[in-house]
Homo-oligomer: A and B are copies of this chain.
Amino acid sequence: MRGMLHLAHLDRSIAELLADQLEQVGVVFERQLASDLSAVNGLCLHVERYRGKMLRPTLVLLSGLAVSEEPHDEETLNERHRVVAAVAEMIHMATLVHDDVLDEADVRRQGATVNHLWGNETAVMLGDYLISNAFHLCSSLGDPAVNLALGQVTNTLCEGELVQLHHRNDYSIDEATYFEIVRRKTASLIGECCRQGALLSGAKPEHAESLYRYGIALGIAFQIQDDLLDLIGDEDIVGKSLGRDLEKGKLTLPVTHLVSQANPEDRGESLRVLKQRDAAALRDRLRDHGSVAYAQETARRFVREAKSELERWPSGRAVRMLQRMADSVIDRSY
């Protein structure tokens, strides 16, 4: 498993604690998906290979730890953190499976996608099965407030995707609309992971809110980096089909910048390149117009915003790791 964090560079004790907790999250995840039907189990085993960065579970755990920086962190985290972490990862996995159908992608995490192997129908149903199991697992906590919060977040996430589809091939949308989509489709779940992790450790709502804002800013930076990797990443390193945003007429931050900046003639040429799906010409134009640099700087701004939320927390090992996670979101090449 290729984690978000280069754990070796960190405080050994918390790195080991986190690795141990993530393994337990994996156990909760697999136990939930175990079916009495072998055909279903085979599909779930394939999907479990998608678990990679474990960004969302890691944020639930670290936010839980950040609330009480004590020598014995083990006791701060309980089964409820691990269940919410597994629920968040399962929701994320469902969106990956359905995104691959939407994007007609063939490769995910260096392996074939579900739709490529078994067809779109199975991918649609498997995604539904994952969403359903996520809610079922969440219900096992017996805490309606958590169910309500996670249900609200998946509503928001789907709304983000629907608005994005509504604006497909619409290169006139402005940055505000771009951020509205990203906030909903990507940042909302990441922010909620932070808030729930903190609440489960007994944080006051207003304190949990600060970690929520950290997660929202981190999520936006994460999505901008995803946009950049899809445009200028290396498919072998990223491990999934690239260039899909252009193919599917999805608006990304660099492209929004490119289209909004140019003079009318220049803008016409940009639109022509976009409509022709000419990836090489688009890359050149984005570089020439400073749109890549602009997106990179915007991502850095959101990382700074995320880290500024951490300043109000006592600096302990978990908070230092949250700071590093914010940096690692844009330092990654996969």
**Partner-B contacts on A (CB < 8 A):** 35, 37, 39-40, 43, 94, 98, 101-102, 118-122, 124-129, 131-133, 135-144, 147-148, 151-152, 154-155, 157-159, 161-163, 165-166
The distance in angstroms between the C-alpha atoms of A129 and B133, with both chains bound, is 16
Give the residue among A37, A39, A135, A140 with the most B Cβ atoms within 10 A.
Answer: A135
Q: Is there an interface contact between B98 and A128, defined as CB atoms closer than 8 Å?
A: yes
Closest to A32 in B: B155
The distance in angstroms between the C-alpha atoms of A37 and B137, with both chains bound, is 29
Oligomer copy total? 2
Q: Is there an interface contact between A132 and B131, defined as CB atoms closer than 8 Å?
A: yes
The distance in angstroms between the C-alpha atoms of A131 and B128, with both chains bound, is 8
Q: Is there an interface contact between A163 and B40, defined as CB atoms closer than 8 Å?
A: yes
The distance in angstroms between the C-alpha atoms of A101 and B166, with both chains bound, is 18
Q: Is there an interface contact between B131 and A162, defined as CB atoms closer than 8 Å?
A: no
Contacts of A159 in B (CB 8 A): 35, 37, 40, 129
Contact A136 B163, CB 8 Å, known A102-B125, A124-B102, A142-B144: no
Chain B nearest CB: distance from A115 CB in Å? 11
Contact A120 B120, CB 8 Å, known A37-B162, A140-B148, A148-B140: yes
The distance in angstroms between the C-alpha atoms of A282 and B119, with both chains bound, is 26
Closest to A148 in B: B139
| Given contact pairs A118-B165, A125-B165, a sample of 18 additional A-B residue pairs in the complex whose CB atoms are under 8 Å apart | A37-B159, A37-B162, A37-B163, A39-B163, A101-B120, A102-B125, A121-B165, A122-B165, A126-B162, A129-B158, A132-B154, A132-B158, A135-B147, A136-B151, A136-B152, A143-B144, A144-B147, A147-B147
Closest to A133 in B: B155
Enumerate the 9 nearest inter-chain pairs by beta-carbon distance, A residue then B residue, closest first: A136-B151, A139-B147, A129-B158, A132-B154, A39-B166, A142-B144, A139-B148, A102-B121, A135-B135
Chain B nearest CB: distance from A153 CB in Å? 9
Contacts of A120 in B (CB 8 A): 101-102, 120
Closest to A91 in B: B132
A-B residue pairs in contact (CB < 8 Å), sample of 9: A40-B162, A40-B163, A43-B162, A120-B120, A122-B166, A125-B161, A128-B128, A129-B159, A136-B155
Contacts of A119 in B (CB 8 A): 165
Chain B nearest CB: distance from A258 CB in Å? 24
Chain B nearest CB: distance from A210 CB in Å? 25
Q: Is there an interface contact between B124 and A162, defined as CB atoms closer than 8 Å?
A: no
Contacts of A165 in B (CB 8 A): 118-119, 121-122, 125
Closest to A161 in B: B125
Contact A155 B132, CB 8 Å, known A124-B98, A139-B144, A165-B121: yes
Contacts of A35 in B (CB 8 A): 159
The distance in angstroms between the C-alpha atoms of A126 and B98, with both chains bound, is 12
Give the residue among A37, A40, A154, A158 with the most B Cβ atoms within 10 A.
Answer: A158
The distance in angstroms between the C-alpha atoms of A132 and B159, with both chains bound, is 11
